[in-house]
Amino acid sequence: MRISFKSLNDEFIYYSSQLFVFFIVTILMTSGSFTMGITTSAIVLFFMLIQTLLLAGYGHIAILRFLFSFVTPVGYTILWAATSSMDFFETTNVLLWGAAAYIAVFQTLSVLVKRPSVKQLAETFLSIGSAAIFFFFYYYLDKRITLTTSFARGQISAEEFEEAIKIQHFFSGIEKFIASSQHLFALLGVLSFDFMLLRARIRTISLRNRLDRLLEEHQKQPDQNDVFKQYPHVKRDAPMRQLVSVISSDIVGFTELYEQIGPKKATAFLNKYYSLWTHAAGVQGGRILSITGDAVIIIFGLADERLNADRALAAAYTFLDDLEELRDDLHVNGSQSELKISLGVHSGMVVAAQLGPPDEYQYSVFGDTVAIAARLDSLCRELHQDILVSHSTFRRLSLEGQATLDRVGEILLHQSTRPMPVYSRKP
């Protein structure tokens, strides 16, 4: 089982693992014995890590997400039964199982349903519930510490202590607890944090829905790449020399990705990848020139040579910024690999003409400009960059466009006698 860092991060930040960390702190501070607290916390932490790994690897499958959400509660219950007289309704155990059940239901619902509105509703309930659970753990920790202090001072007996921490007395004193300004401040802090996480999750769901809509729209427009409909001024018979900007893009390690998710899911993923490029390029007046597997060539300037470098860079940034929806879609389809895209951007002269075998002419371009863009694309791996922009494109950019780039090195291009600088997007 290969698990990406992003999957682990999502499980910890957005879902249940963060609550289990607070649960571990509660155990550590209320065990009575430091040695026992450390031992119990370490064992629970082990179960939590196992659960997080399983959810990161298989959480996209609804039934497995539901079942794996209970790994930590099961582990803690077994540990509790093995080390003491078992009371399933002991408050700590009830809180843990209640939190796990609530989160499991809404996480599973979010995975199971397809409608974005239902997913967003599930995430909203998940966020609100997570804040409440977090606060209950905080309240219980404070209550246990207060009772332990009272017992140590002889203010209450052992029997009174045991009775006070039972689940039926859980809410006694909660009004006084909330009335405290510092506790109310903590509650507001938790709500603010969960609201930010909720915004991020809803944005991801919205982006994924937009990607699906883009795919549907482009499937309904089979003639969208007909250059003579897009650019009426282009002559069908006469070759034309034009200054253009070209983007070459492909998916790093696509073969491995394809082997992980299979041909059906890989085909659907590639179609969404093309749709995202079609949208990003189309907004800036660009056109997909060719598609070969995961490699895409996009050209800017056939209709208007002006500002084609700025428009190409803007399209590249739009695509990179929208990659999150593709990453989430890939994770849902069962891939454990991180999605990495490489882009090369170059500007120069090309010859545009109808090319191809007899009776199969297509309007296309040829020239070194396309080859250099592809070369920059492949160099992204060596220079550890997502995007590389040639100096030819850089000097044609507006000052605003140039300000978004940093010089990252020099390369020797085809038929060039001296190294030329290349640029990448500023962090």
What secondary structure letter does DSSP report for 90?
B
CA distance 197 to 283: 30
- Give residue 206's pLDDT: 65
Domain ranges of the chain: 5-210, 237-425
DSSP for residue 338 = P
Q: What is the pLDDT of residue 81?
A: 79
Q: Are 365 and 248 in contact (CB under 8 A)?
A: no
Q: What class is the 237-425 domain?
A: alpha beta
Q: For residues 330 and 221, is the Cβ–Cβ distance under 8 A?
A: no
Q: Under a CB-based contact definition with an 8 Å cutoff, are residues 321 and 404 in contact?
A: no
Q: Name residues of the chain where pLDDT drops below 70.
A: 1-7, 9, 12-34, 36-37, 84-87, 193, 197, 200-238, 304, 325, 329, 331-337, 354, 356, 358-363, 414-417
* C-beta separation of 276 from 296 below 8 A: no
Q: How much is the pLDDT for 323?
A: 80
Report CA torsion sign: 213, 214, 217, 219. negative
pLDDT at 222: 44
Say which residues have a Cβ less than 8 Å from residue 82's Cβ, sequence separation at least 6: none
pLDDT of residue 346: 94
Quick: pLDDT tens for 400-410.
Answer: 999 999 999 88
Global pTM value: 0.56
pLDDT at position 421 = 92
Q: What is the dihedral of CA 349, 354, 355, 361, to 10 degrees?
A: 160
Cα–Cα distance, 237 to 361 (Å, whole number): 11
Instruction: Enumerate residues 6+ apart whose C-beta is below 8 A from 108.
Output: 62, 63, 65, 66, 69
Q: What is the pLDDT of residue 310?
A: 94
